[in-house]
Structure 1
Amino acid sequence: MEYVGRVPAPPLDRFIDDIYCLTGVPGHRRMVVPPMPSAHLVINLGEPARLWDSDPSVPPEVVSDGWFVGLWTRRFLYEYPTRVRLVGVHFKPWGMAAFVDMPATDLRDRWVPVDAVWQGSVDRIRNRVGETTSAAETLRILEEELRSRLVEAPSRGLDLVQHVGGWLETSHGAIPVGALSDAAGVSSTTLATQFKAHVGVTPKKVARIYRFAQLIRSVDALRPVDWSELALMAGYFDQAHFSKEFKDFTGHTPTEYLALRRRMPAEREFPPDDGPMPAS
């Protein structure tokens, strides 16, 4: 598949890591997506896809138009169609709150149809994109839609979450939560309340996800991996806790995960995100 992405211009870049087009035939159709520090918007321009929650009580879903995906705290499985054509957004963990008038807790660990949140936007984007539009033009149309949806004056709470979230992002979740609230000049209770309102989870959980993402991105599947060293570098000081969280987030032990990555390597020039992995 071909992935064409870019960081949008300010002020969208405060809330978005990148916007992208994804087209072509997938090398691996079923992908396990562990918790990663992002929320998503996907506009499907091709055949339907399928989504499975790792919670067996949640029924699978066929998605054909577009969907928002809030921050996930557990893994889910995504199945591409035989041929992919979609345009999407990787929001920062707090980024969706600047575009969506919906409680972040209602989007956590969920996928929600776009038209349930932005009425009429899927058809409008599809009609403008058409069948022959270039990736650059498709991204321009998507960025224009995002600008029209951006709140003019983010709340003070969102400004606080964005500021503190930036520290978590640059430190890969290594800053203790107590130090975050002290540096921000607010109580830990206030900080947790604002994170739940704008991200859907506490800053402690966001830090855990950033820490895990840093560990995954540090894995070089072509070389021997010292998991103890990687875990320590990523801020895991309890080996038992690291092993349990790794299994919870990926469905595999570290050894199983490495074997899978070696057997099914990521596609070249795919997004700079080594979290999603082929389902075995």
Structure 2
Amino acid sequence: MRYDCRVPGPPLDEYIDDIYCLSGVPRHPRVLVPPMPSAHLFINLGGPVRMWDGDGSAEPVTLVDGWFMGLWTKRFLLEYPARVRLVGVHFKPWGLSAFTDIPASELRDRCVPVDAVWQRALDRIRNQLGEVTASNDALGFVERELRARLAETPSRTLDLVSFAGARLERSYGAVPVTALADDAGVGGNHLAAQFKSHVGLTPKRVARIYRFARLILSVDARRPVDWSEFALSAGYFDQAHASREFKDFTGYTPTEYLRLRRKFPAAAGFPPDAGPMPAE
């Protein structure tokens, strides 16, 4: 499966990490996705995608034409069709708030049809994407759609969350919440309330997801791993703390994760393999 992406220019880059196309035959039809610091838009031009919560014990949800997904706080499973054609957007944790009036708490840990967020938009978007074959043209179309929908003047509270969130992003969650509030010139309770409004989570929980992302993205399964060193460099108090977080977020112990990664090596130049992992 091929992954093509572009990072949009200002001002979209304040709210979006990248716009991407997935196409072709999936290397691993079923993948486990741990919590990562992204909200999503998916426009599906291929067959249905199935999704399970957590350990896959519940009945799957079938996702068809297009859906938004807020920030996810627990792992989930995705099963791709035999051939994939999907255009997506990785939003920063606060990014969706710049493009919709729906409270972030209503999108957290949920998949919502595109038309529930952008009314009567999905058929037009899918039809226009269906007419282009080049990934670059599809990415350009989605970028123009996002620019047209970006609020001309973001609210002051979104600016506050974007400022504080960018610090968490750059530090992978290492900045204490009290320091975030002090630097922003607001109280901790006010900052937490605005994060809940625009992200759906408190800054402390967002920091936790960024910290885990740093841990998992820095692991090179091809080499011996010193988990104590990795835990400390990612901002964990000790290895035991990092191991508990790892098990909670992925369902695997660090040792089990390495075994899985070595059995199914990540594809070179395919960024989604850095977070999502094959589900056995």
TM-score by length of 1: 0.97
User: Which residue of structure 1 lines up, in the alignment, with residue 217 of structure 2?
Assistant: 217
Q: Are the counterparts in 2 of residues 217 and 273 from structure 1 also a CA contact under 8 Å?
A: no
The within-5 A match list for 1:169-248 is 169-248=169-248
Does the alignment pair 1:53 with 2:29? no
1:130 Cα shift?
2.2
Which SS does the other structure have where 1:190 is aligned?
helix
Q: Deviations over 1:112-143 (max 9, x none)?
A: 11111112222111211225421111111111
Q: Distance in 2 between matches of 1:90 and 1:140?
A: 15
User: Which residue of structure 2 lines up, in the alignment, with residue 68 of structure 1?
Assistant: 68
User: Which residue of structure 2 lines up, in the alignment, with residue 39 of structure 1?
Assistant: 39
Please identify, of 143-152 and 158-167, the stretch whose mean Cα deviation from structure 2 is larger.
143-152
Q: Distance in 1 between matches of 2:272 and 2:253?
A: 23
Divergent runs of 4+, >3 A: 55-59
Q: Which runs of 5+ in 2 are unaligned?
A: none
- Compute the RMSD of aligned alpha carbons: 1.4
User: Which residue of structure 1 lines up, in the alignment, with residue 93 of structure 2?
Assistant: 93
Does the alignment pair 1:3 with 2:13? no
Q: Deviations over 1:60-81 (max 9, x none)?
A: 2101100111101111111111
Q: Which runs of 5+ in 1 are unaligned?
A: none
Identical aligned pairs, as a percentage? 69
Q: Distance in 1 between matches of 2:145 and 2:227?
A: 43
User: Which residue of structure 1 lines up, in the alignment, with residue 114 of structure 2?
Assistant: 114
Q: Distance in 2 between matches of 1:108 and 1:56?
A: 19
Q: Are the counterparts in 2 of residues 216 and 275 from structure 1 also a CA contact under 8 Å?
A: yes
Q: Distance in 1 between matches of 2:10 and 2:58?
A: 38
- In the alignment of these two chains, the number of paired residues is 280
Q: Are the counterparts in 2 of residues 104 and 197 from structure 1 also a CA contact under 8 Å?
A: yes
- Counterpart AA for 2:250: T
Distance 1:35 1:16, change over 3 A: same
1:59 Cα shift?
4.2
1:184 Cα shift?
1.1
- Counterpart AA for 2:148: S
User: Which residue of structure 1 lines up, in the alignment, with residue 105 of structure 2?
Assistant: 105
